[in-house]
Structure 1
Amino acid sequence: MNQDEQQIRALVERWAAAVHEGDLEGVLADHTPDIVMYDVPPPYEGVRGIDAYRETWPPFFAWQAQGASFTVESLDVVAGADVAYAHALLRCGTPEEFAKKPDMRLRLTVGLRKEGGRWSVAHEHHSFPDDTP
């Protein structure tokens, strides 16, 4: 694994730890001002910009405070000279949800840019598979 891949892996793991801890400033760190995020809940057109991204987290933290987990289980990174992507599977849910669906995993994909020697997330996508019958 090269140095860029190691830096990105550490960035994603720091972000996930901040999400788990409900640390909003830690979640926002390492994101570009023009971040685009597509999330599980609406809005369907996603959110654009760091301010809109910031507003999505308090409801998630409130849900998570009810005992939900948020843990990276697998993470793959591909890095070029100034752009990269990473995809991961995360254990994200409550004990009750995992009792019903033990294999449930949140899918995460991020696109990153390297500017001034520093990696930042410019695109973030979260999803769950649609397993409705």
Structure 2
Amino acid sequence: MKYMLLVCGDDTADASGMAPVEPWVDDLGDRRVRLHGHRLAPPDRAVTVRVRGGEVLRSDGPFAETKEYVAGFDLLECDSMEEAIEAAARHPVAGIGALEVRPFWEDEDAEARIRALDAELTSAARERDADRMTACYAPDATAFLDGRKHRGADALRKSFGELLTGVTGPVTREVLDFRVHVDESIAFGHALVRLRATRAVGTRINDLMCVTTGYRNAGLRWLITHEHASRTSEERS
């Protein structure tokens, strides 16, 4: 399960004797407990935004005037809250400030949503729907297909349209092996995909491709942002 550590500094604390944070980062990173993190600029560079009566109200500085402030964050993946607390207790700032440990919502299954996106791509190909296929990609996506580079939704839609108009009947996209690694707002997938179809001239397409895909969390859904497909074999009859 993922946990967010909010690293809270204290303006009144003496940080001169604080241990460096790098060993903590390196240790948890080597054990793949810490996934990501970063320092934040000091509170005097913050801007607080409110909207009241349709008017945007901006004020310089943090939301609350307090000696404690969020100085940074770390994203952990732990088996339990106890493990996350243990990691937080070892953070150097814990000795002079505080760390808030907060679990992520549990109703998000990013890998399942990515696999559903891949299933939608398969279904759209079978139904010969270039628009549905294109909708699986981000507007600024880049794809390397058939040895050609396609950048942007319009280029992808044209490529899919050319494929679909050049064949008759359904296009079968069979995913033989699909592995996904998710890291918060981005993900990477590796798959073996077999593409079968019959060309308008009567010859058959039977391509086995290695496909590497990059995904981005677009807020309400995941989208493909980068794809590279290389043919490993082709059979014609």
TM-score normalised by structure 2 residue count: 0.46
Residue in 2 that maps onto 1:125 = 228
Give the structure with higher Rg (CA). Answer: 2
Q: 1:83 aligns with which of 186, 189, 208?
A: 186
List alignment gaps of at least 5 residues for structure 2: 1-107, 199-203
Residues 33 and 49 of structure 1 are in contact (CA less than 8 Å); yes or no, is this contact kept in structure 2? yes
Corresponding residue number in structure 1 for 2:123 = 17
What residue is the counterpart of 1:48 in the other structure?
151
| Distance (Å, rounded) in 2 between the aligned partners of 1:67 and 1:28 | 17
CA contact (8 A) 2:138 2:224 kept: yes
The answer on whether the counterparts of 1:13 and 1:72 sit within 8 Å (CA) in structure 2 is: no
Shift of 1:30: 2.8
User: Aligned pair 1:33/2:136, yes or no?
Assistant: no
Percent identity reads 27
Partner residue in 2 for 1:112 = 215
For 2:133 and 2:233, the matched residues in 1 are separated by 26
Give CA-to-partner distance per residue, 1:77-108, whole Å, 9 cap, x none: 1111100011211221358565xxxxx51222
Which residue of 2 is the match for residue 61 of structure 1? 164
**Unmatched tracts of structure 1, length 5 or more:** 99-103
Which structure's relative contact order is higher, taking Cα pairs within 8 Å and 6+ residues apart?
1
Change (3 A) 1:130 1:34: same
**Hey, what does 1:93 align to over in structure 2?**
196
Which structure shows the higher strand fraction?
2
Q: Give aligned pairs, total.
A: 122
How far apart, in 2, do the equivalents of 1:16 and 1:123 lie? 17
Q: TM-score, normalised by structure 1?
A: 0.78
